[in-house]
Amino acid sequence: MTEGVAQSVRLLAGRYQVGELVGRGGMADVHVGMDTRLGRRVAIKLLKPSLANDPAFRTRFRREAQDAAKMAHPTIVRIFDAGEESVRESSGAETLIPFIVMEYVDGRLLKDIIAQGPVDPAESCRIIEQVLTALEYSHRAGVVHRDIKPGNIMIASTGQVKVMDFGIARAISDSSATIAETSSILGTAQYFSPEQARGETVDARTDLYSTGVVLFELLTGRAPFRGDNPVAVAYQHVNSDALAPSSLNPAVSPALDAVVLRSLAKDRFERYQSAAEFREDVEAAASGSVPLRKQLATNDFNATLFGVNPSSVAGSEATLRQLTVDTDERVARTQNRPPVAWIWAGIASMVVIIAAVIFWTFNLAPAQLTGHVSVVVPSVAGQTYEDGSKSLTDKNLVPQKFTEASNTVAEGVIIRTDPEAGTTVTPGLQVNVYVSLGETPATVPNVSNMLEADAVKAITDKKLTYGSTTTTYSPDIKAGVVIDSDPKGGSTRRTDGTTIREGDTVNLIVSNGLVQVPDVTGQPIAGASATLTALQLNITVQVDDSCSGGVVAAQSIVGDNPQKSPITLRYCGKP
């Protein structure tokens, strides 16, 4: 086990050599590293040890890292490996350091580039287009980043944009850490979406809002909302409208203004609905075109009133001009006025139609009325995943299985859903189903070279159960000192592949202080001497000229003997 945390953790997982510190954040430190097995340069992110105190975080961290590792795209920093390293502090306390091994990118963080001032609009658009390409890929894979900000975007020396830390924000925000803790980990509130600030469920549009904040900062050199503390900034995200970037940087075009302000809409339904849509408008604005806002059809409201379309010119001078125009200025009629009877017949028909629609609407069953636009998440907690997922599928929802440890819910049984039961959602929405893994997973402590009593205490401190002690021979470990454990120290799984959990039994293998001296008579003196030297015995060799062959003729001790025992070998020295 390594000693110390900051400086002496030199090798992770027996393979990754930790090198120079190249970055430091509220959540982690980043080092240059080397994968000694494959001989390639990597970046190693060491998360704060405080995060590992929560077993739920460790479970989510592993799951999210595995999901992020599946993503392979030129605009996303690859994750090669992730895990936890057991480390002993200088005080003697043992802790776990979560780590991520990532692709090494030779370049600069976007936050360092923005710190030098506004970026040229064309270059800003190029950067954001690649960020949105990364998000389009991740969103299709079902991964929402949750923490898009300049500190998580790298610009390689080749100009390639790389987005990193997919899934890590989710692992942190889903853990049992307090709001104060997570806010310090996730960084400033400058890139929060309104729904994040309100503590609501987030989706892909949250990433698009944060990307809009990054685009604003690229164009102006500052974030759209600033305050004395994170709470003040979060309040502005919810309640204040952003300025047009051109008001701070005249080089920004009106088209780019429109793109940025739409991306920063408070209502997520008014925002861009996909990364592809956002990217298309950025490309259009960068080329000098004005992005066309796609609007929903408004059937009934597109009818004209006295030749005026109220939905397109309501509140404008055009409306007033057309409604107050003199009769002589209007287009002359080309036919006579319809008979009064026709007018009354039309009115009567409209009344009948409206009455029928009202009657039909009020007589619909609630399920018929809302079945096509919303659905209520059913309660599936306490069911198996197979039964619960069927209930969700029957409601036209898409179940997505996640697992986590639970000391109260049996293995394989659903703990909860997100969104929770009773929430009204749109059909086709993904519902995260959290299934119990059973008791909390545990890691066997490394108790080698401890006294037996101390090893038993270390095992029970980890909420594991001490089983039994087996003694065995050792040439150098003193009697009563632990040689090994079963399962071995640092293990999270047994040899059969099952997970080690709190309460599981750990057995000890302890030195009996003896060595078992073999009978080496009749063997060549060189081989016999090597065998006994490996047992760390004190060997004395005597030559017997009465026999020949160079073999051992006799030895002073054999069988069980104390460590470091003296032994005399007599061998035949006659040619």
Report d(CA 319, CA 310) in Å as an integer.
Answer: 8
DSSP strands (E only) in 393-472: 398-404, 414-418, 424-425, 430-436, 465-472
3-class SS of residue 324: coil
Name the active-site residue from 35, 67, 147, 281: 147
Which tokens belong to 544?
């017997």
Report d(CA 320, CA 314) in Å as an integer.
Answer: 9
3-class SS of residue 319: helix
- How far apart, in Å, are the Cα atoms of 70 and each of 76, 98, 433, 547? 11, 19, 20, 72
Say which residues have a Cβ less than 8 Å from residue 476's Cβ, sequence separation at least 6: 536, 563
- Cβ burial, residue 537 (10 Å; 0-12/13-18/19+): buried
DSSP strands (E only) in 2-134: 11-12, 16-24, 28-35, 40-47, 79-88, 94-103, 107-109
Report d(CA 506, CA 482) in Å as an integer.
Answer: 13
Report d(CA 394, CA 372) in Å as an integer.
Answer: 14
147 in catalytic set: yes
Which tokens belong to 106?
């030779």
Report d(CA 72, CA 258) in Å as an integer.
Answer: 32
Report d(CA 57, CA 98) in Å as an integer.
Answer: 10
Which tokens belong to 125?
């658009």
Question: Which amino acid, one-letter code, is at 473?
Answer: Y
Q: How many CB atoms lie within 10 A of CB 365?
A: 8
Question: Which amino acid, one-letter code, is at 120?
Answer: D
Q: What is the DSSP letter of 558?
A: -
3-class SS of residue 410: coil
Question: Which amino acid, one-letter code, is at 231?
Answer: V
Which tokens belong to 259?
């793109």
Sign of CA dihedral 415, 416, 417, 422: positive
Catalytic residue list? 147
